[in-house]
Amino acid sequence: MLKVTESAVENIKEYLAKNNITSAIRVVMQSSCSGMSLGLGLDDKKESDKVFENDGVTFLVNNGIFTTTGAITVDYAKSSGCGCGSGSSSGDFTVSSEKKLGGGSCSTGSCSSGSCGC
């Protein structure tokens, strides 16, 4: 299951219109030094995808991801302005899962500390 908040849909629609993009939005699983996380990208539909439509925006999720993640939520929140995340002063998209994703490690400890320098 994919839940996309009203705020996320509004901001995605604004971004797509501003940049003249007609692509679907893909929820992706990515690996980093702090472990597995979920993110968003632009992509075309594949056979293995589950398709979700929300207020004119198409979201794609590889059907196999749900085994690892459980339900997925896409949200958008105003940024705290401290420079974390995307560095945007207006806000950040977050993609979270019902199940905890596997963690990683980093030799400096900064990746897994969650502090991101703020």
- The model's pLDDT over 50-88, given as tens digits with 9 standing for 90+, comes to 999 999 999 999 999 999 999 999 999 876 655 554 444
C-alpha span between 1 and 32 (Å, rounded): 24
- Asked if residue 93 belongs to a domain, the reply is yes
- The model's pLDDT over 94-115, given as tens digits with 9 standing for 90+, comes to 999 999 887 655 544 444 444 4
CATH of the domain at 52: 2.60.300.12
- Asked if residue 106 belongs to a domain, the reply is no
- Asked if residue 112 belongs to a domain, the reply is no
- Asked if residue 29 belongs to a domain, the reply is yes
State which residues form the domain around 81: 2-100
- Asked if residue 49 belongs to a domain, the reply is yes
- If one counts every other C-beta atom within 10 angstroms of the C-beta of residue 28, the result is 16
**Position 118 confidence tier, pLDDT thresholds 50, 70, 90:** very low
| Domain total of the chain | 1
